[in-house]
Chain A
Amino acid sequence: MNAIELSNVSKIYRKYSGRQFATLKSALLQRSILSELSPTETFQALRGLSFAIAKGRTCGVIGRNGSGKSTALKLVAGITKPTSGTVTVAGRISALIELGAGFHPEISGRENVFINGIMLGLSRREIERRFDEIVEFAELREFIEAPVKTYSSGMYMRLGFAVAIHVDPDVLLVDEVLAVGDEGFTHKCLDKFAEFRRMGKTILLVTHSLGLVERFCDEAIWLDEGQMRSQGDPKRVVDAYLAAVEKSEDALLATTTARAVAAVAPVPAEPPTATPDHSELQNLFQAVEGRWGSRQIEITGVTLSGRDGESFIFHTGEPMRVTMKIKAHTPATDFVFGVSFFNADGVCCYGTNTYIEQMDPLRMEGEVEVAFDIDSLDLVEGTYKLDVAVHTCEGYPYDYHRLLYTFRMKSRTPDVGIYRPKHQWSFSPGIRFKETD
């Protein structure tokens, strides 16, 4: 049996044009009261969305901002009506959309519990019966008679959560409320959800915490632009979602890089007077994007590629190749190629060049290509920028590209620092860990 069923649901939000300025007066003057009230522009939040969640399942809804997750939840909760299609929900619903919505600051926690409970569909007697339990759960025994305006935001939320969770729903809707609140409270909420699951209740959870979805849900739904992209095993859906996010990030980084390169291209070939001296490592502190040099030798293009070709997203431990297309306008005998990586804080993670690595230049002419290969890129997750340069052995720049190329490192391990050395843990037999899947 399905607890929640959406079939072919669309939701169109109306934008009332210039609502700020739409005054009664202007409406009266233009005799347009009714047309003012009719939408001029619309925004389609959901497009023919259909899904069903069986009774007793816990389902996580993921997707980017604006993908329609919260709209879907509000439709299931009945707060808004679908523009077309049908929404069916079996049983009593409790929606944790905003905790403590409707608390009145001036009156006591006790009175607010009653009013909030009634709003959520309990009778006065039911609340009386559960009152102690609610207060116990919220850990507010000594403050329950104080007006709610004196509560800290944490207390406020705990009380809101406690009331909503004690409505004893058949279907529980949760919208990202776990993101707020301290560690202890979050655990308590999760414990309560686990209890709900054991009792065979249906939970629909909207969240950006993919880990939570993987650990906690029986299935996941991925929404994108108001449509269902995928539903099923949480691990599989989360992976597919992450892959798509990477792809769009990749496109974004590509445009960022293209813009940075385009912005500096028309700079004159003359080296700026403030051109830093002989070592590129000395001006690491002036981490400003730019390009300078005499351009006798010019870097005409830089590409980053991973295992599957050109990319702006790399995973820790994967290989990377930096390819520079170079054009020597006159044959040269004095040249050095350099590459260095910077993290978002402007720290140089690694830098090297052919001179440091004791390669003696002999001759270069025409259009050539230089590739810099890394077998295993062991940087931690984050955004990095790349310097590439050609200069003389003395350090006089031909073409210096400072921080023009951006790429992102991804990692499934949230480790910290800059660099992840290859490592391994070993334990003597006295130590044991739980099996992971």
Chain B
Amino acid sequence: MLANLSQLFRYRGLIWSLVARELKARYRGSVLGFFWSFINPLLLLGIYSFIFSTIMPNRAEGLQPYALFLLCGILPWNWFSTSLNEAAGSLLAGGNLIKKVLFPAEVLPIVSVLANMVHFFLALPIVVGVLLAYRHWPDPAGLLWFPVVVLIQLIFTTGLALALAALTVHFRDIRDILTNVLMLWFFTTPIIYFYDQVEVRPYKWLFNLNPFTHLAISYQEILFFNGPFGHWKWLIVIGVAALVVFAAGYWLFDRLRDSFAEVV
């Protein structure tokens, strides 16, 4: 594991080049280019806000402005779900590389996660814009937690991405299953509703088992709710869990590594 990590470190140049390539290639040929990283979440936000504040409004108290609340959960979720979807297919898509060029295969799913992290960062100005528009000032001390949450999400997502990428090589159905699992996961995570609202309370223990619940709540507490960041205990638990997921994912990936060049 340590040897693998140090190898990854040696390949950081390649990883960043591939991330840059991924980003460049994605919008090559489109008129708006990088603005899509910005416009896509904005459009999504528009749709959700319209549905959940006009058509079937969420009546829970304290969720105003709703657009801002939504944004805190949806942007990280987008990073998470798109990363997993792309990572699952990354080894198959990069089959040519795995079979013909000598380089560590884990680079491919990691690039998927990192490229989507960049998209996440590119969408953050929307949050700033909305904060400014509503004159909503988050607690500066809480903001210091923001990079910690991002880091934990990065580790957690990478661990899952490695496991999914390795398994998809053998079971191609995972890509289809994953889309549906992620849909279910999205709705069972307090992103469009609040963790502490009346309807959710009886199932709280169930929600607590979902790691993404705590990531979403952390983002919400840091950016949306007033007062100091109070969710840090759970965040630390999730941080440890993320490390375990990462180690397990990497272990699985390593176990199956030798089969990639033969099965892809």
Contacts and interface: CB of A to CB of B under 8 A. Distances in A.
Interface string A1-40: 0000000000001101001001111010000000011000
Interface in A258-307: none
Given A97-B100, A124-B13, A147-B28, A80 B18 contact: no
A101 B28 contact: no
B28 A106 contact: yes
B99 interface: yes
B101 A24 contact: no
Contacts, number: 81
B28 A107 contact: yes
A300 B186 CA distance: 81
What is the predominant secondary structure among interface residues of chain B facing chain A? helix
Contact of B25 (A14, A93, A106, A119): A106
Interface stretch (B151-159, B194-202, B254-262): B254-262
A16 B256 CA distance: 13
B262 A24 contact: no
A387 B177 CA distance: 64
B261 A79 contact: yes
A62 to B, nearest CB: 21
Contacts of B24: 106-107, 111
B14 A36 contact: no
Contacts of A106: 24-25, 28-29
Interface in A49-94: 74, 77-81, 93
A256 B136 CA distance: 87
A115 B29 CA distance: 20
B102 A118 contact: no
B170 interface: yes
A114 interface: yes
Contacts of B17: 114-115, 118
B99 A79 contact: yes
B14 A119 contact: yes
B21 interface: yes
A101 B261 CA distance: 14
A123 interface: yes
Given A22-B171, A106-B28, A16 B263 contact: yes
Interface string B244-264: 000000000000101101110
Contact of A107 (B25, B170, B172, B258): B25
Given A14-B262, A16-B170, A93 B28 contact: no
A165 interface: no
Nearest to B26: A106
B13 A79 contact: no
B154 to A, nearest CB: 23
B174 interface: yes
A102 interface: yes
A16 B25 CA distance: 35
A104 interface: yes
Contacts of B174: 24
B96 interface: yes
B96 to A, nearest CB: 5
B103 A119 contact: yes
A120 interface: yes
B102 A95 contact: yes
Interface in A110-132: 111, 114-115, 118-120, 123-124
A98 interface: yes
Given A36-B170, A106-B29, A101 B100 contact: yes
Interface in B85-110: 94, 96-97, 99-103
Interface string B11-41: 0011001100100110011000000000000
Contacts of A19: 170, 263
Given A81-B258, A119-B97, A119-B103, A111 B21 contact: yes
Interface of A: 13-14, 16, 19, 22-25, 27, 36-37, 74, 77-81, 93, 95, 97-98, 101-102, 104, 106-107, 111, 114-115, 118-120, 123-124, 147
Nearest 3 CB-CB pairings of A with B: A24-B171, A101-B100, A106-B25
15 contacts: A14-B262, A16-B263, A22-B170, A23-B172, A24-B167, A37-B170, A78-B102, A79-B101, A97-B100, A97-B101, A101-B97, A106-B24, A106-B29, A107-B24, A119-B101
Interface of B: 13-14, 17-18, 21, 24-25, 28-29, 94, 96-97, 99-103, 167, 170-174, 177, 256, 258-259, 261-263
